[in-house]
A and B are shown apart, each in its own frame.
Chain A
Amino acid sequence: MTTTPTPAPVIRIEHASKAFDLPEGGRFDAVRDISLDILPGEIFGLVGRSGAGKSTLLRMMNLLEKPDSGSITVSGQELTTLSPRALREARRRIGMIYQHFNLLANATVFENVAFPLRIHGAMNAPRLKARVAECLELVGLVDKAGSYPSRLSGGQKQRVAIARALANYPTVLLCDEPTSALDPDTTRSVLDTLRDINARLGVTVVIVSHELQALGSLCARAAVVEDGSIAELFDLLDHSAPRTTSLGRELLYYSAETRPGALHA
């Protein structure tokens, strides 16, 4: 980990807040005045109990959730000020994967991965075909191009979703509980795929999960979200720093367990 002192952040969140109206009346503050910088090329984890606001925070990074106040800047573009058209264009470079994959059930694997390319219409047919093949190669599913998602296992579905998210050469990949619907073995292989993509393509990965073990082995930095605020933010490899939250301490444990060398470094 040799990073330059202050690289420009690829995602910058400044004083973002978001509240939801509750069905039974009243407001729920999902995110309260959070500021956060995510650096280019890193794998950043967001942990927290359910309802802590971590997913809302992640979904702000491509403006699926529009903050009530504050600003979101990705790759130098302030998303919160963009026109709908410019926002669509900006979202091209922000890939996202989900707990339940969200693939088109009535489209083949090929068509699913081609979807983001087709909606932006930037590629002719041979280039599009080549790009889809490239992305499927990256996740090891070239032979499934003609299959429908219902024929795939959970892990394969998530890898199709990763290929789809990568098709438009994103700078950022947002992962919303990507392994929560998967069994432990598949979880490991999907995490390996994410790690591999981060290393090979330099895509910045932001991952929300409540699986501390997964995050401990994957992330360089992580933030603990509690009650809509960042309770703690730390470098996972820096085991000397004190951890103030219980989730932070647990994460330290898993990080040390999966990377034993780091503890004594």
Chain B
Amino acid sequence: MLEKLLLVAPELWRAFGETLLMLGIGLSAAVLLGGPLGVALFLSGSGEPGRGRSIGQALGWLVNTMRSFPFIILMVALVPLTRIVAGTSIGPLAASVPLSIAAIPYFARLVEQQLHEVPRGVIEAAEAMGATRLQIVTRVLLLEARSGLVLALTVLAISFLSYSAVAGVVGGGGIGDLAIRYGYYRFETDVMVITVAILVAMVQLIQFGGGRIARRLDKR
């Protein structure tokens, strides 16, 4: 087993890097684009401060549609887009495109849900003090929901760690891909065990780190 480990070590190391790259790009896209989308969903949703109910309904419909695609189908369907954005349809960079597209609406819904946890009265108090919409978002909603948002990102990171394995099917690379290629297709059980062990360790680490940060941010 140790011998085998040394044999696949370089490949394992490369796969690990690829996984981090896919996660990094996917999560960044989720935060940068999915975050604002989630805020927009919240603001345009019923009962919350704001007009644009119809814009909200359109956004909600779009988000639902994107989320209804099974990831593997989304990935194949997005191949033309992936070629335009990444210049290729194979490899971790290419896989990052459908990962990002899937992560954005996913995170948007998680953000929307977390913002609903902010007490209505606190938002109202800011309104009564003369805060603008933007100030309410940045100084009230994000502040009060921050630990929940960190936990939402943790959930997203773990989901997308396993999504990134699916990307292996279309030559995406990464640890999950390694597990499928060696462990599953070639019946090399020990490689499979090693890769799964790495994934388990990564999930534990992400959950532990996320939970810790969330607790430190939560002063409620």
A259 beta carbon closer than 8 Å to chain B: no
Interface residues of A in 100-151 (CB under 8 A from B): 100, 102-107, 115-116, 118-120, 148-150
CA distance A119 to B147 in the complex (A): 23
Q: How far is the CA of A116 from the CA of B143 in the complex (A)?
A: 15
Counting CB contacts under 8 A, is A49 at the interface? no
**CB nearest to A97 among chain B residues:** B125
State whether the Cβ of A249 lies closer than 8 Å to any Cβ in chain B: no
Q: Which bucket holds chain B's interface residue count?
A: 20 to 34
Q: Tell which of A105, A116, A168 touches B219, judged by Cβ atoms closer than 8 Å.
A: A105
Q: Which residue of A lies closest to B217 (CB)?
A: A106
Given A64-B127, A120-B130, are A150 and B119 also a contact pair (CB < 8 Å)? Answer: no
Task: Name the distance in Å between A176's Cβ and chain B's nearest Cβ.
Answer: 10
Q: Which residue of A lies closest to B129 (CB)?
A: A116
**From A174, which residue of chain B is reached at the shortest CB distance?**
B128
What are the interface flags for B89-132 relative to A under an 8 Å C-beta threshold, 1 for contact and 0 otherwise? 00000000000000000000000000000010110111111111
The distance in angstroms between the C-alpha atoms of A186 and B144, with both chains bound, is: 27
Given A102-B119, A106-B143: A150 touches B220 (CB 8 Å cut-off): yes
Asked whether B121 lies within 8 Å of A104 as measured between CB atoms, the reply is: no
Contact with B along A70-99 (1 / 0, CB 8 A): 000000000000000001111110101010
Question: CA A171 – CA B132 in complex, angstroms?
Answer: 21
Report B's interface with A, CB cutoff 8 A. Answer: 119, 121-122, 124-132, 135, 139-140, 143-144, 146-147, 217-220
User: Besides A88-B130, A119-B130, 19 other CB < 8 A contacts?
Assistant: A62-B128, A87-B130, A88-B132, A96-B129, A102-B122, A102-B124, A105-B122, A105-B219, A105-B220, A106-B146, A106-B218, A106-B219, A106-B220, A115-B126, A115-B139, A116-B130, A119-B135, A119-B139, A148-B219
